[in-house]
Amino acid sequence: MFRHIAMFRWVEGVTEAQIGEVGEALYALPAVIPEIRSYRFGSDLGLGEHNFDFAIVADFDDIEDFRTYRDNPDHRAVSRSVIGPLISDRAAVQFDAGERPDDPTAPPEGV
C-alpha cells in the first residue's frame, strides 16, 4: 500500500464555510478516481501549537495509482480552484505503508 499525506495551513480569514467547501470537494473525489483505496481528511483538533490546520490521508495500491490521482483533472481542479486560494503553507509526504496482515503494529520493512 502506498500512502500520501498532505497538510495545509490556511491563510488568515478562511471561514468555516470555505473549509466546508473544501470538504465537499474532497468528498467527491473517490467517486471519480477509482484508484483511491482509502481517503480521509479533516481539520486539526488544535491539540498542538504548531500543527497544520487541515490534513488529507490517501491510500493507493501503488505509486502508479497515486500518480493517476495526482494528475487527474478533477483532483487538479480541486487543488487549484478550491484549496489553492486558501492555503498559506503546504507539506506533503508519500511513503510505502506496506501490508502487515499478520501484525498490524509491526513497522514496515526497512524502518
Match 493507493 to its residue by C-alpha cell. 60
Can you tell me the distance from the alpha carbon of 73 to that of 105, in angstroms, rounded to the nearest whole number? 36
Report the distance separating Cα 16 and Cα 63, nearest Å. Answer: 33
Residue 92 is given by DSSP the state E
Residue 111 domain-assigned (yes or no): no
Q: What is the CATH number of the domain that holds 76?
A: 3.30.70.100
Interatomic CA distance for residues 52 and 31, integer angstroms: 27
Say if residue 86's pLDDT is above 90. Answer: yes
In a domain? residue 105: no
- Evaluate if residue 11 carries a pLDDT over 80: yes
The DSSP result for 20-81, as a single string, is HHHHHHHHHHHHH-TT-SEEEEEE--S-STT--SEEEEEEESSHHHHHHHHH-HHHHHIIII
pLDDT digits (tens, 9 = 90+) for 37-81: 999 999 999 999 999 999 999 999 999 999 999 999 999 999 999
The parent domain of residue 23 ranges over 2-96
